[in-house]
Chain A
């Protein structure tokens, strides 16, 4: 590139730009090849399989069947049940995590002593593998040996719930676990947002004698909105594709009350080996997630991408 540029002397500005372009493409090429290859090949593979008969227990991947798999999946009541479970889980998990997380962020933000230590300790659940801690929570939830029911009895409550066995409680047990795991994430990022707020508007509001509530409503929350949106979208994506903790904590049970879309998909594909149905569902699910999250995140991330070019 450099030599080619020297052989064709042109205006200095044009030469530099041309060469910059090629250099920048050369640097991203290795990563882009990998990303394109390993993201698009599986995608096209899944699209292909979704139009075929693919029962791995009976002859593997076979001929084209048109839209038959899509029709079958969309008429499958268990698929819709798993969609419902996922939506209910996502709704309650997000509401509780956001509410509690924001509350905890304000608590820590206002703390005068030991802020750093509190922050370090509160984020520790984020370090753990959800599959591993999910497995251990089965012991915590145990009706006989578990700590939760022991605490309830110590507090003098007559309520001894069967966390993982009661069909009314199963999903709530997963939600509680998810809140334990991810509330710190919300708290951590909202806290960072709070700490990066400019001081001047708040000082002005104090001089004007504005009430705490008014400051929160008209200053703090509006200024936090971008951060809150980001947390909301990232958490929603993660909740929709919840798999690890269901796989180890409840295995979709009791019955199928905690069977999320991803867990249903897993069972179709790798327990019953109906790759055609599984691929079809995976694609439908993926389109939905990308459409929703792509639009929600676009403005926020476009800003970061723009900043990338300016330097």
Chain B
């Protein structure tokens, strides 16, 4: 196609521009990680220092003094549990949509419109509802209520479900229907077909969807910010706890931010083949 006509100077220009773009994209992340290893004296200096003795002080401070461990535990717990719920519910639903399409597309479209709700419009009613549920016996028993992890699990399950259903429908569509039909002829009943034939074949798609759900829950900010105060606080909000009266402690902020960002960078490197599909609700295949 077009690139066959390109001459050497154009190729050089192309790679030069790519390097510029990559630098602009990556240096904020690189600088974040670099700052997290800087001694306090090397952070608030002008001009910025590029050469310094690396230290783990910021991580020690973040993890011990500021109770950041607790935020990490909360984040993991909420992200994993909500992802499990989402995957169980959405794999059943997506299989049904891909294979039988109940509602002729209308239900599937309705599900997507719930994703168009601006989170802020939903979070205020959630705040009021969780405030009320939290005082009841049921709320206390299930851990649902303001500043309880259950509130975030419920919110994230709700928020990731439409996305997961749409993404997984596109994966289930890739499974040849003939395999199911021949399994039925071999005497499998419907549930056996689903459990022994379809789900194993859909495993890669399910895994990709699960990682996306983890990514979104892990990075979520608004619900965590508004529905939690301290006991159920997650990392994204917890990073702000280093904004003290004496000023912003940029070292620990960078350490905390690195802890928050690093696992997801790894996930995205694994996911990159599927990123396009995931970010467009399965509408575009990468």
Interface positions of A (Cβ within 8 A of B): 2, 20-21, 23-25, 27-28, 30-32, 34-35, 38-39, 41-43, 45-46, 49, 61, 104, 107-112, 118-133, 135-140, 144-147, 150, 153, 180, 183-185, 188-189, 192-193, 195-196, 199, 202-203, 206, 212, 215, 227, 230-231, 234, 237, 240-241, 243-244, 247-248, 262, 265-266, 269-270, 275, 278-279, 282-283, 285-286, 289-290, 293-294, 297-298, 300-302, 304-309, 311
The stretch among B52-60, B61-69, B200-208, B278-286 that forms the contact with chain A is B278-286
Within the complex, the shortest CB–CB distance from B64 to chain A, in Å, comes to: 20
Instruction: Decide if A107 touches B48 in the complex (CB within 8 Å).
Output: no
Known A132-B239, A308-B98, A311-B177: A301·B261 in contact at CB below 8 Å: no
Which applies to chain A's interface (DSSP): helix, strand, loop or mixed?
A: helix
| Cα–Cα distance between A153 and B47 once the two chains are bound (Å) | 10
One of B14, B31, B128 near A45 (C-beta < 8 A): B128
List the A residue with the shortest CB-CB distance to B221: A131
One of B98, B267, B275 near A311 (C-beta < 8 A): B98
| Cα–Cα distance between A188 and B280 once the two chains are bound (Å) | 11
Q: Is B96 close to A, CB under 8 A? A: yes
| Cα–Cα distance between A104 and B116 once the two chains are bound (Å) | 28
**Which of B45, B46, B126: most chain A Cβ within 10 A?**
B46
Interface positions of B (Cβ within 8 A of A): 1-3, 5-6, 11, 14-15, 17-18, 21-22, 24-29, 31-32, 35, 43-48, 89-90, 92-93, 95-102, 104-105, 107-109, 111-114, 116-122, 124-129, 154, 157-158, 161-162, 165-166, 169-170, 173, 177, 189-190, 215, 218-222, 225-226, 235-237, 239-240, 248, 250, 253-254, 257, 260-261, 264-265, 267-269, 272, 275-276, 279-286
Known A145-B48, A248-B240: A124·B29 in contact at CB below 8 Å: yes
| Cα–Cα distance between A266 and B169 once the two chains are bound (Å) | 35
Instruction: Decide if B116 touches A289 in the complex (CB within 8 Å).
Output: yes
List the B residue with the shortest CB-CB distance to A38: B158
List the B residue with the shortest CB-CB distance to A23: B190
Instruction: Decide if B261 touches A127 in the complex (CB within 8 Å).
Output: yes
Instruction: Decide if A243 touches B97 in the complex (CB within 8 Å).
Output: no
Known A240-B118, A283-B121: A129·B279 in contact at CB below 8 Å: no
Set of chain B residues within 8 Å of A185, measured between Cβ atoms: 279
